[in-house]
Amino acid sequence: MTEEHTTGEQTTEPEQKVFEQIAAQFPGLAVSAFRGQTRVVVSRDELITLMQTLRDEYSFDMLVDVTCVDYLNYRGAEDRFHVVYQLAGTDSGLRLTVCLPLNEPDLNAPSMTALWSGANWMEREVWDMFGIRFEGHPDLRRILLPDAFEAHPLRKDYPLQGRGERHNFEVLRRGEG
Amino acid sequence: MAVAGMPEHFEGLPENVVVSRLDELGSWCRKNSLWPMPFATACCGIELMATGASRHDLARFGAEVFRFSPRQCDLMIVAGRVVMKMLPVLQRIWQQMPEPKWCISMGACASTGGVFDTYSVVQGIDRFVPVDMYVPGCPPRPEQLIQAIIDLQDKIQREGTLDGREFLSAQQQMTKRALIELPILGQGFSQP
Ligand code: SF4
């Protein structure tokens, strides 16, 4: 089940047990570990159930981060985006990375705000930077960029210097105002 | 006492009377009582604070009264990079400052965008607001900022007028180089 390419730290045995248990409960999961860090890849349909179970039954009570990776032109990548959830159990000390692959044109993911209210701003940031829509999010607005911004600049096909948005302002002159 | 070049009807004035032009007198008052608006958005702001602090003591040049209300200021010091979301704020603050007013662009970022040549960083505030003095450096030392303020004082003394005519001169109104060179795109850029 668990494929290991570890060169550094190993997953400890009690941790291993928990992750095996999770894998047994969700047969659709792709579980892998690297240097003592475990990662599962889950499909969109299963995500909510998995997260709910992880929170309630496996005591992953903290959503540390929601972020996204754009795998455009990445060697060997099959999916365009991975939405990445970092979970932690504050009592158990366990950590788990949950990845949700998404492909264009259907860039919708279920929102985690119902499970962890801290997901609110993090999902807004992912929407802002990558254009992933979170269904069920109470207030999916841009969080870092101006509201009028139209692109999602952390996508790999977006030019670093932008498309001229930064020059798009009114010019104030002397003696006006 | 007759002084060379003095009109005849001034003769006989006591020695403690100084004759000048009203514009020059006004500029002299203005240049020695600059009230800076610290628009410090990044690391340059730290040097700006150091400039105002005791070691470098901006008070020696009459510009130590930092005010955080634009209504009470006449010198905007932009210290740091300005991003797209900040620029409208900067413009609003500039418009809220009463005339006459001046602007110092402090540091590489405020003047050109610096190393931050990215989608969200404005590549020089002089594209969108008038700038009187540029201070090079990353960050500029407080001495450099003080030099800029001294130079600005000279400029105010040299060309200042009581009613601010100099602000309306053609040269001051000229569009900045950068605005001519770079395309200004509309809302039409594509949605990925
Ligand atoms: S010029 Fe240098 S010190 Fe000043 S804001 Fe830019 S990076 Fe910071």
Q: Is the CB of B124 under 6 A from ligand 1?
A: no
As a whole number of angstroms, the distance between CA A16 and CA A14 comes to: 5
Closest C-alpha among B132, B25, B124 to residue B81: B124
What kind of fold does domain A13-119 have according to CATH?
Answer: Beta Polymerase; domain 2 (3.30.460)
Domain spans of chain A, in order of start: 13-119
> What ipTM is given for this predicted complex?
0.79
How confident is the model over A111-152, as pLDDT tens digits? Answer: 999 999 999 999 999 999 999 999 999 999 999 998 888 899
Task: Report whether A142 contacts A128 (CB < 8 A).
Answer: yes
CB pairs A-B closer than 8 Å: 97
The reported pTM is 0.82
What single string gives the DSSP state of each residue in A65-130? EEEEEE-TT-TT---SEEEEEEEE-TTT--EEEEEEEEBTTB-EEE--TTT-TTHHHHHHHHHHHH
SS3 B59: helix
Nearest-Cα distance to chain B for A94, in Å, is: 37
Q: What is the DSSP letter of B72?
A: G
For B44, list phi and psi in degrees, rounded to 5. Answer: -60, -25
Select from B76, B81, B83, B84 the residue whose CB has the most chain A CBs within 10 Å, as the one to mutate to test that interface: B84
Task: Report pLDDT for B190.
Answer: 39
B33-158 to CATH, choices 3.30.1280.10, 3.30.360.10, 3.40.50.12280, 3.30.450.20: 3.40.50.12280
How confident is the model over B46-80, as pLDDT tens digits? Answer: 999 999 999 999 999 988 899 899 999 999 999 99
How confident is the model over A75-84, as pLDDT tens digits? Answer: 998 999 999 9
Burial (CB < 10 A; 0-12, 13-18, 19+), residue A133, is middle
As a whole number of angstroms, the distance between CA B89 and CA B93 comes to: 6
Burial (CB < 10 A; 0-12, 13-18, 19+), residue B145, is buried
